[in-house]
Structure 1
Amino acid sequence: MSIKFRTGTLALAVGLALGTSAPLYAAEGTTAKKEKDVERIAVVGSRSAPRSVAESPVPVDIVGGDELGKNASSDMLDMLQGAIPSFNVRQQPISDAASFIRPVNLRGLSSDSTLILLNGKRRHRASVLAFQGGGVNDGAQGPDISVIPSVALKQVEVLRDGAAAQYGSDAIAGVMNFVLKDDADGGSLSVKQGEYYEGDGSSTIVDGNIGLPFTKDGSVNLSFQLKEADATSRSVQRPDAQGLIDAGNTAVGSPAMTWGNPEIKDDITLFANVKLDLGNDKEFYMFGNYSDRTGKGGYYYRNPQDRGGVFTDGNGDLLVGAMDGNAAACPNIAITSANVLTQPDYIANVANNDNCWAFNELFPGGYTPQFTGDINDTSLVMGTKGEIKEGFLEGFFFDVSGSVGRNKSTYTLANTVNPSMGANQPMDNSFEAGSYIQLEKGFNLDLSKGVDVGLDEPMNVATGLEWRQESFEIVSGEEASWKQGPLATQGFSVGSHGFAGFSPEAQGVNKRQSIAAYVDVEAYLTEDFLLGAALRYEDFTSFGNTTNYKLTAQYKINDNFSLRGSHSTGFRAPTVGQANVVNTQTSLVSGELIQSATFPPTHPVSLQKGGSELNPEESKSFAAGLVYQDGDFFMTVDAYTIEVTDRLAQTDKLPITQADVNALQGVYPSPELLLGGQITFFANDFDTTTQGVDVVANYAMDLFEGDTKFSLAYNYNATDVDDPGSFTTGFKVRRLEEGIPEHRATFTMAQSWDSVSMFVRANYFGEWFATHADEPDEFSDYGWSETVGSSFTVDASVSYFVNESITLSVGANNIFNTKAQELQKDGGAYGVVSGVYYESGPFDYNGGFYYVKATYNF
């Protein structure tokens, strides 16, 4: 292999490490062509070349944008899960805004342990925190990857290795870099329609891309996507709701609540990528996005005969409130029948009494709140890069950029009440609960140069500076969503039920800044031995400073076989949102639906329960692998260990006792209103060790008078909780260790002829621990959780090229409609959740999904 090729590959690896695009000094001729080939190396299911960069000392996978577009799903998260076995994501049917911005996992770690880049620049995180994150993602706050449409992408680069020494916070599990298309001509327009085999969840996606010249020396590449998706229902009627119907309550719905995917409306995304040659080996670039969508989902059903804080007092009696404040005049009523509406004491003392109020008057059949989230996401990055021609930095390549990213989520509750307000509810029983806003700004300076140090090739030296500012803002909701009404002191809950609005006391902006400096060196000590080292210092205004390092090496044994390895330290800074968020939600605890509040860890109530200032997670990573390539066969095997200490997560629900109330007197206003409730906060609470192996193999051949590509990808990933800490229960330990399958694999056959192409992909999911979102493990004997065996799904797609411009496609995910694990019908979760399947499964519980697609290329 030529020295030029090896140098180009090295520069590409350094470029990935620095977050820059292709190497600046390789711009034309043979070297440029070969680097383009390296960038286009593809992943499982691709019709292109093998998926890993053979010359990289750390494993890098490349997924082409066209490959992502072959997935039946229109969601980027599902597309990536089908292509990268160590990447996991699941549906979240009843999980507040996390139903719309789903958390993900790379190598079994939380979603905010994977750094997300766009065109090599740090992507801002979402404003949504996953309060019901399935154990591993409890409280995670990662970027919203779902807003990125495949039509805008040239490729996705997945660095499967710790990289905090190059990038800073979050790169513990790895790095994902989404590279936008930059063509100056051509484009596409497509329409895709699909739905689940069950006949619901119908979705329509219209997307397009166009490349235009920007003067004679630049390009503007524009992409859009419009999407609508109907809700799904994998629901059963709750036994308690059916019991009410059998008892004569005609106001109960059938089903009383819906369990399934949320409805997505008015989902629009725009992306732009601009480049302009400034001459003298310098380039201006600018890229960004505007995205907006509305999601609507359901909550748990509120039973009119046992829902505490609204219908009952928690002791089996109907909760009756006195609107004039004289509670003695309106005593609670013992529920002695299956339909309290027919009890004489209810009719006499509530139905025919204007002063005494029970919510059975407003919702005689109970109610199910509806949750709506309006998600808006915008970003802009501008910069310039090129070669410095004079001065003391002559010969250096530079990249200077500034960025801003913003994600806002606004929440509305419908078909619900503020119980403390009694009869004085809004006319439409709808509440605007407020907003979260995540805003991030950054400036970067990156420098690199090949330095002659007497080796066969120049040593690549890179260095840089970074400044970042992150803020998290809470905007209060309308008064009715948080108001403490006249019945608050009579046992009725306060705030819009299901998701209480943010009060003026919770409103505010919290900020944090950081500055960082790094140096990165790579060199071939011999023709076959590559060695690299990186060091990064970063200082935060919140918790202080941290220094991290990374060492990498690759040794080429012969033309076909090489060994590689790495060792690094890393960190993940607590987000400003995790340190300051306030939230009230409905949780399922011991079979009962209760309101639970999330407070900042330094809030007086959190301090009373053991909270403290948050510190960063710290990690150590070790990896070793081999690369084998012989003609059209390519294989990599990489083993890794990731040790993380002081992991950040949301605590389990902690009850507020009378002792807590007594201790909070004079410290927190009206602590007695918290009595009997549950709270959570964020804490550095446990340590883990994650070990695994990635295997990637590809083979190309001529078969059936066409081109055939076989691809196999396998991931083994096991996490052990070394120290569960003060707040991490045995149930959560089990979810962390067993909630994601340890074994995951995909096998793909891709076939192409002149006018037809197709692929078939088999997906294997190993054994996993199935459970409802937030129900504790001690109820497993009653059907709350169980261990589930392995399963297979199959995806397939066929495309017909009508001519050079028009392509027609048909395909399906889970083509044989493999069923997800069903809840035990005699178990508690089946009746309370009102769903057929466990939601924590490794593949879509909705079943098979098919689509048809028409694409016009120009």
Structure 2
Amino acid sequence: MIETLKKQSLLAIAIAAASTPVVAEESEIIEEVITIGTRVEGRSAADSAVPIDIITGEDFVNQGDSDLNSLLRNVVPSYNVNTQPISDAASLVRPANLRGLAPDHTLVLVNGKRRHRAAVIAWLGNGVSDGAQGPDISQIPSIALQQVEVLRDGAAAQYGSDAIAGVINFQLKDDSDGGAIEVKAGQFYEGDGRQFTVAGNYGMPFTDQGFVNVSFEAGSKQDTDRSVQRDDAAGLIAAGNTAVATPAQVWGSPEIKDDFKSVVNLGLELGGGKEFYAFGNYGSKTVDGGFYFRNPETRSAVFSDGSGPLIGDLNPDNGLDSCAGFTHAQAIASDECFSFQEMFPGGFTPRFGGYVTDLSGLAGVRGELDNGWAYDVSASLGYNDVDFFIYNTVNASLGPQSPTSFNPGAYTQLEKNFNIDLIKGFEVGLASELSVATGFEWRDETFEITTGDQASYEIGPLAAQGFSAASNGFPGFGPLAGGQWSRSNLATYIDMEADIVDGWLMAGALRFEDFEDFGTTVNGKLATNLELSEAVSLRASWSTGFRAPTPGQSNAFNVSTEFDVALNDLVNNGTIPSTNPVAQLRGGEALDPEESTNWTIGAVFSAGPIDVTVDYFNIELEGRIAPSQLYSLTQTEVDTLVASGVTSAANLQNFRFFTNDFDTTTKGFDIVATYGTDAIGDSTDISLAFNQTQTSVDSFTPETIDATRIRELEEGLPETRWNLSSTTFVGDWRFLARASYYDDWYDSEDDQKYSGEVIVDAEVSYAFNEQASVILGAQNILDQTPEENPGAAGGVGNRYSQFSPFGFEGGFYYLRTRYEF
């Protein structure tokens, strides 16, 4: 089935294209024109009733990183993403936050069409992202982008589920000729993390009535290390154990191999005012990162029973406890006794990762009916698969028969969409036509857990002697945990917009959705823009919204090995479906959608070369979906979980489940200012983007959400961020400088609050001619790192906070060469 889907989607990509006007030569995008937040063509960002940031493709190209998440963070202060060094599956698809909310509170569009979410659920995300299942935008190559629009307002009434924090729309290039090739290489100041990418974009005619535009990016990233040696590992080495690695545990970015991204965008006029469009992507990568160190003297259920060495009796049928009191050395010397120090005398640190595959295809036709209604009919397929692997570890219950590498299974997300959109303008005696848009959407979403190899979940013969079952660090999915869960929904909407009088825009939307698992929801929106003068206008909006729980959140099983600060030790924590009988004993029940109320008020000022926007926002979220606090398992609950297919529950200390059990208010304001002048060089553009966001937990059940989680939600992200950037052209030279401020943040892993920092980026470019240029730049040119973790050596060896909002690896320099044709 998976191979068939890949072939079908690759075929869709081969005929792919854009939802922008077809003839590229006649559709030059003016930077201020927007395509989201309104269904009226030609609306500008300044005239919009809601705040929208427009980011050009050049803003992404003129950076050193190749991950679109990091590129977006560097230019949008309300967007946060961090490194995720030891974060379970979140290391494969990094969770990102817009306006202080979870990754799946932001709707992502490509060419105005909904993008599928990733299969990964971020089990470890410093509270704010815990349990979120958002899209993977890192699969889009930056060279494919014409512009990006960031709608900073609730838009569920217009676009459906997830559009609570806002909407990000990626507009793909639609040129029918020309292109560019770019080669980029770089590394961190410390000499690691080398990156190399080759990217290209090419536009060509598609007959004489259309275009096809192709983009790709291929590359790799080496891993990094910003660790200190743990005290326990240093003690082992001092005692003569030469098999312990230095460092025993690595904190840094994972290695990314075979990273390939591609996008195809196509449009074709069919005659009679009709046009066909399509677009799609294919991407794949291998991500390989580290886990926590297993101490060869103290790691419970592998090397220790809690009071002394854990020694396995390989011949328990003899009726004699022949291994009682043995040391590890004595067990290694015995034929009937076993110690894992024989396989790992220096302990072990599992390596964990996955093979990520992402593909999508969308095709549609639009035109205008004889009665004046413009139509747009489209269908899409989106697929994301993460096939996990873990090695340098064991299934301890299998004893000496245990392999050291495992296939724990896979998560797969499949989405299908069908849309019909209609729009027509009516003369009703207002200053402009009344634009009426309506439409229908059918969406089907499937989440699948594929079982792992038997050794990854098996309860082996030594389990009865206290050895842990399943692959240590990331247990495999057993037959009863595996499965496929689907959910479909139908939606219809009406959206109206008009200028009541000259300079006064009013807009409204109403949306009805029916989900097969939890029923219906109705959401609405009102928005306005009032022009007080040519230089000043006011805007405001009010809306309700919702986010539906994903089939993955409702049904996924997961076990994570996490560091417990209070115990100063590793513990195995499991996440089970909220409808599992064990979860129901603690209040678990079927999930409901989150509900939100959003309102914003702002102003737009224009004075010659200076443009300023100021917007205040307030988002009230009720019944937020997130994992509960951890509950200690009783032996009865362990037995019940094992019987339900969670075989690794035999070694679980705690469990949690998804719940709708707390309400929050997120509020703040954004300021965006731009200034252009010819007084500096040939021309200079200066921009300031400022964001201040606060989240408060208004109500919760203490038995379900604990105090640490509350602090994560309220303090886990910087409250204040700003970017100040300047680009100057002098002849064939271009100079770019960017200063970014990140406020302080709380790291629950270290139980510490870290101070904010200012990060400076710089880039200089020289154009040899109109086609060829060379660019030298540095991100974090001053080599700024977060303040050091005072408990690193006594804990798990992380020199810096893993949740640093600007990373913790220091300065990164790069060289790019670019040729345009």
Question: TM range, normalised to the smaller chain?
Answer: over 0.9
Distance verdict in 2 for CA 1:379–1:346, change over 3 Å = closer
Q: Is the 8 A contact 1:321 1:330 kept in 2?
A: no
- Aligned residue type for 1:800: Y
In the alignment, structure 1 residue 39 sits paired with structure 2 residue 33: yes
In the alignment, structure 1 residue 362 sits paired with structure 2 residue 343: yes
- The secondary structure found in structure 1 opposite 2:191 is coil
Partner of 1:96: 88
In the alignment, structure 1 residue 139 sits paired with structure 2 residue 131: yes
TM-superposed CA distance for 1:661, in Å, is 5.3
- Aligned residue type for 1:486: P
Measured in 1, the distance between the counterparts of 2:131 and 2:56 equals 31
In the alignment, structure 1 residue 204 sits paired with structure 2 residue 196: yes
> Given the alignment, which residue of 738, 742, 747 partners 1:770?
747
> Given the alignment, which residue of 97, 105, 122 partners 1:113?
105
> Given the alignment, which residue of 259, 262, 265 partners 2:251?
259
Deviations 1:147-184 (A, max 9, x none): 11110110111000000001110000000001110100
TM-superposed CA distance for 1:660, in Å, is 4.1
Measured in 1, the distance between the counterparts of 2:174 and 2:163 equals 26
Measured in 2, the distance between the counterparts of 1:569 and 1:263 equals 42
> Given the alignment, which residue of 216, 224, 248 partners 2:216?
224
- Aligned residue type for 2:350: P
TM-superposed CA distance for 1:790, in Å, is 2.6
Partner of 1:653: 630
Q: Is the 8 A contact 1:319 1:333 kept in 2?
A: no
In the alignment, structure 1 residue 352 sits paired with structure 2 residue 333: yes
The alignment's TM-score, normalised by the length of structure 2, stands at 0.94
Q: Is the 8 A contact 1:771 1:839 kept in 2?
A: no
- The secondary structure found in structure 2 opposite 1:836 is coil
Partner of 1:16: none
Partner of 1:823: 789
Q: Is the 8 A contact 2:288 2:352 kept in 1?
A: yes
- Aligned residue type for 2:514: D
Aligned pairs for 1:371-450 (under 5 A) are 371-388=352-369, 390=370, 394-426=371-403, 429-450=404-425
- Aligned residue type for 1:754: G
Aligned pairs for 1:36-75 (under 5 A) are 36-39=30-33, 53-75=45-67
TM-superposed CA distance for 1:630, in Å, is 2.0
Deviations 1:590-629 (A, max 9, x none): 3211222221111122222321111111000010000011
Q: Is the 8 A contact 2:641 2:649 kept in 1?
A: no
> Given the alignment, which residue of 802, 805, 808 partners 1:839?
802
TM-superposed CA distance for 1:658, in Å, is 4.1
> Given the alignment, which residue of 160, 170, 176 partners 2:168?
176
> Given the alignment, which residue of 778, 793, 799 partners 2:759?
793
TM-superposed CA distance for 1:846, in Å, is 0.5
Partner of 2:534: 559
Measured in 1, the distance between the counterparts of 2:318 and 2:471 equals 22
- Report the count of equivalent residues: 794
In the alignment, structure 1 residue 489 sits paired with structure 2 residue 464: yes
- The secondary structure found in structure 1 opposite 2:341 is coil
Partner of 1:621: 598
Measured in 2, the distance between the counterparts of 1:430 and 1:672 equals 17
Measured in 1, the distance between the counterparts of 2:394 and 2:523 equals 50
Distance verdict in 2 for CA 1:835–1:529, change over 3 Å = same
TM-superposed CA distance for 1:65, in Å, is 1.0
Distance verdict in 2 for CA 1:593–1:506, change over 3 Å = same
Aligned pairs for 1:497-516 (under 5 A) are 497-516=472-491
TM-superposed CA distance for 1:375, in Å, is 0.2
Q: Is the 8 A contact 1:657 1:676 kept in 2?
A: no
Deviations 1:766-787 (A, max 9, x none): 2222342xxxxxxxxxxx3222
Measured in 2, the distance between the counterparts of 1:356 and 1:686 equals 51
- Aligned residue type for 1:144: D
Measured in 2, the distance between the counterparts of 1:513 and 1:728 equals 30
Partner of 2:818: 855
Partner of 2:142: 150
Measured in 1, the distance between the counterparts of 2:315 and 2:180 equals 66
- The secondary structure found in structure 2 opposite 1:361 is coil
- Aligned residue type for 1:321: G
Q: Which one is further off, 320-329 or 786-795? A: 320-329
Partner of 1:7: none
- The secondary structure found in structure 1 opposite 2:401 is coil
Measured in 2, the distance between the counterparts of 1:277 and 1:578 equals 42
Measured in 2, the distance between the counterparts of 1:561 and 1:786 equals 44
> Given the alignment, which residue of 303, 306, 310 partners 1:319?
310
Partner of 2:4: none
TM-superposed CA distance for 1:791, in Å, is 1.4
- The secondary structure found in structure 2 opposite 1:265 is strand
> Given the alignment, which residue of 674, 685, 706 partners 1:698?
674
- Aligned residue type for 2:32: V
Q: Which one is further off, 359-368 or 101-110? A: 359-368
Measured in 2, the distance between the counterparts of 1:743 and 1:488 equals 50
Partner of 1:304: 296
Unaligned ranges ≥5, structure 2? 1-17, 36-42
TM-superposed CA distance for 1:434, in Å, is 0.8
In the alignment, structure 1 residue 243 sits paired with structure 2 residue 209: no
> Given the alignment, which residue of 711, 734, 749 partners 2:711?
734
Q: Is the 8 A contact 1:403 1:441 kept in 2?
A: yes
In the alignment, structure 1 residue 687 sits paired with structure 2 residue 663: yes
Deviations 1:659-690 (A, max 9, x none): 6458x499758999647621121111210001
- Aligned residue type for 1:118: V
The alignment's TM-score, normalised by the length of structure 1, stands at 0.90
- Aligned residue type for 2:221: A
TM-superposed CA distance for 1:328, in Å, is 6.4
In the alignment, structure 1 residue 807 sits paired with structure 2 residue 773: yes
Partner of 1:598: 575
Measured in 2, the distance between the counterparts of 1:739 and 1:700 equals 36
- Aligned residue type for 1:796: A
Distance verdict in 2 for CA 1:837–1:424, change over 3 Å = same
CA RMSD in angstroms comes to 2.2
Measured in 1, the distance between the counterparts of 2:770 and 2:638 equals 73
- Aligned residue type for 2:384: N
Q: Is the 8 A contact 2:186 2:195 kept in 1?
A: yes
Measured in 2, the distance between the counterparts of 1:156 and 1:837 equals 32
- Aligned residue type for 1:651: S
Q: Is the 8 A contact 2:33 2:44 kept in 1?
A: no
Distance verdict in 2 for CA 1:804–1:248, change over 3 Å = same
Distance verdict in 2 for CA 1:711–1:504, change over 3 Å = same
> Given the alignment, which residue of 569, 572, 575 partners 2:544?
569
- The secondary structure found in structure 2 opposite 1:833 is coil
Measured in 2, the distance between the counterparts of 1:382 and 1:810 equals 40
- Aligned residue type for 1:318: P
Partner of 1:13: none
Identity %: 47
Measured in 2, the distance between the counterparts of 1:498 and 1:487 equals 18
- Aligned residue type for 1:162: G
Measured in 1, the distance between the counterparts of 2:327 and 2:718 equals 55
Measured in 2, the distance between the counterparts of 1:87 and 1:113 equals 12
Distance verdict in 2 for CA 1:668–1:378, change over 3 Å = closer
Q: Is the 8 A contact 1:327 1:490 kept in 2?
A: no
In the alignment, structure 1 residue 457 sits paired with structure 2 residue 432: yes
Q: Is the 8 A contact 1:387 1:397 kept in 2?
A: yes
Deviations 1:713-757 (A, max 9, x none): 100100000013232111111111111111111111110123111
TM-superposed CA distance for 1:91, in Å, is 0.6
Q: Is the 8 A contact 2:481 2:646 kept in 1?
A: no
